[in-house]
Amino acid sequence: MAETNFVQAKENKDSTLVQSKKSDLEEQPQQAVQAKENKDSTLVQSKESNLEEQPQQSEDSTTKPSSKFTREDLAKLVASLVVVALTIVFLVLVFTPKHPKFKVRSVAVENLDYTTSLNPSFNMRFAAKMTVKNPNFGYFRYGVTNVSFTYRGIQVGEVSIPKARVRAVSTRKINAAINLNSNNVGNDTNLESDVRLGTLTLTVQSNMKGKAYLMSSGKRSKVNGRKRTAALNCTLTVNLPKKLVLDIHCSYSTTTV
């Protein structure tokens, strides 16, 4: 009887151990599957969060350089426009030939005789100082130039200026002596009136024709020679009793020929 109870107890113990092992074996795969699923779920969520952050970072990285590039591009455009404008101004100033200016600076009376009789007349000699101003970046060469002095449209004197050359951006001084008389005027009532009043108004006129050679200063290096004419038109007021030239007024008229 005791043996039978011992055997039955042993069998019950063995049966309990077997069931415990079976339950452990059944629980282990479920735990492994659960752990794997949790791990996979964590990886998926991590990847999704990374994917969501990457576009935002990409947008930020593309937006900032784009704004910076636009400002730099605008600055470069403005700088380019300034350079182009300065270049155009430089080319216009340098490569567009300008007209020289021909002017009477002063007139001194060296000798003066006049009469107020029934046949009024005058005879005088002037020492005139004139200038030719060349504003070009190259020399200006002009030919023989005649300067005429007229009284009320009638020529009373003339002087010839020899041909010469004016250096770049410089002024050439010219001294000339002129003899004037009223032989061509004849019996003019205006002359009688002016002589009695003691003042004569004379007009000085000339057309100086030449060529401007840009960016050149030597005789052999003539570059882009352009014809230019400087027209001179001045008026003089002569005080006969004082033998002085009181007023000189010049106006410039330049033409291209």
Q: Which residues pair with 1 in a beta bridge?
A: none
Note whether residue 197 is domain-resident. yes
Question: Is pLDDT of 139 > 60?
Answer: yes
The pLDDT > 70 percentage for the chain reads: 65
Question: What value does the CA radius of gyration of the chain take, rounded to a whole number of Å?
Answer: 54
Question: Residue with structure tokens 């900032």?
Answer: 64
Report the relative pairing of strands 244-255 and 164-166 from DSSP bridges.
unpaired
Note whether residue 115 is domain-resident. yes
Burial bucket for residue 29 (CB in 10 Å: 0-12, 13-18, 19+): exposed
Note whether residue 150 is domain-resident. yes
Q: Are 157 and 123 in contact (CB under 8 A)?
A: no
Of 180-194, 206-220, 237-251, the one with minimum mean pLDDT is 206-220
Looking at per-residue confidence, does 8 or 73 come out higher? 73
Question: Is pLDDT of 29 > 80?
Answer: no
Question: Residue with structure tokens 């999704």?
Answer: 48
Tell me the residue ranges of DSSP E strands in 47-198: 101-115, 121-134, 140-142, 145-151, 154-161, 164-166, 170-181
Averaged pLDDT of the chain: 79
Note whether residue 232 is domain-resident. yes
Note whether residue 39 is domain-resident. no
pLDDT band at residue 77, thresholds of 50, 70 and 90?
A: confident
Confidence (pLDDT) at 144: 97
Confidence (pLDDT) at 54: 56
Note whether residue 61 is domain-resident. no
Question: Is pLDDT of 168 > 70?
Answer: yes
CATH of the domain at 242: 2.60.40
Domain hosting 144: range is 101-251
Note whether residue 224 is domain-resident. yes
Over residues 100-118, mean pLDDT: 92
Over residues 222-234, mean pLDDT: 81
Over residues 53-62, mean pLDDT: 53
Confidence (pLDDT) at 72: 79
Query: What is the rounded distance in angstroms from the CA atom of residue 134 to the CA atom of residue 100?
Result: 5
Distances (CA, A) of 242 to 24, 113, 199: 144, 11, 10
Q: Are 85 and 103 in contact (CB under 8 A)?
A: no
Question: Is pLDDT of 222 > 60?
Answer: no
Over residues 88-94, mean pLDDT: 69
Question: Is pLDDT of 188 > 70?
Answer: yes
Note whether residue 218 is domain-resident. yes
pLDDT band at residue 82, thresholds of 50, 70 and 90?
A: confident
Number of domains in the chain: 1
DSSP for 84-101, written as a single string: HHHHHHHHHHHHSPPPPE
Torsion of CA 193, 199, 200, 201, to 10 degrees: -110
Confidence (pLDDT) at 257: 43
